[in-house]
Chains A and B, each alone.
Chain A
């Protein structure tokens, strides 16, 4: 069955960097786009970034644009989120999520039908 496993979270100082990974299995990885969604402690869900199935298009929330980079390695069935210039407000559980379908109208939006268990990123001195 579909499985997404995030890793790479931890404690980092403000201004530091961290790379998250999301290992996928149980489906044809290169056929699907992926999103990163985060959730600050006790707060709601916040969309972070998206990458198209072939990696040619990427979108970011304004709150992370210029600091975070989403990428993928289709040969390794792995999604990444490179985070730099981290701030206290980036503290959250980060989830990777698989799109349910490719939408020809927006070429971006899709319901998220599979999620990883999340990895906690704590930005603190």
Chain B
């Protein structure tokens, strides 16, 4: 089933925010295969973090990822207006029914 994320997180420009992504031992906790995607309204998702804490080229170093146990986290530092978007985590899952699972999604609002 879907990984659990908070429905919304907000912060002021320049602040740091963290989005959590909670799974189980069979997905987030069992593998270093967590990715994070940013999606602006009406647009396709964009890969921001992969393999827990790696950044694709071209992604700002204001975005960072980590994991502890069954919970992964995405931190956005120095929050900017253009960071306002939906964010989804994803993970490999040791499951024959749904081996690729996404999080429920978090709406980030820049106040």
Contacts and interface: CB of A to CB of B under 8 A. Distances in A.
Interface of A: 35, 37, 44-47, 50, 59, 61-62, 95, 97, 100, 103, 106, 108-109, 111-113, 115-118
Size band of the interface chain B makes with A: 20 to 34
B45 A100 contact: no
17 contacts: A35-B100, A44-B2, A44-B104, A45-B39, A47-B100, A47-B102, A61-B98, A61-B100, A62-B98, A100-B56, A106-B99, A109-B99, A109-B100, A111-B35, A111-B47, A111-B50, A113-B50
Interface string B94-109: 0001111111110000
B92 A109 contact: yes
B35 A46 contact: no
Nearest to A116: B44
Nearest to B92: A109
Given A47-B100, A47-B102, A113-B56, A106 B92 contact: yes
B46 to A, nearest CB: 7
A50 B100 contact: yes
B35 A112 contact: yes
Interface in B36-57: 37, 39, 44-47, 50-51, 56
Nearest to A65: B97
The 6 closest A-B pairs by CB, nearest first: A111-B50, A109-B92, A47-B100, A115-B44, A44-B105, A111-B35
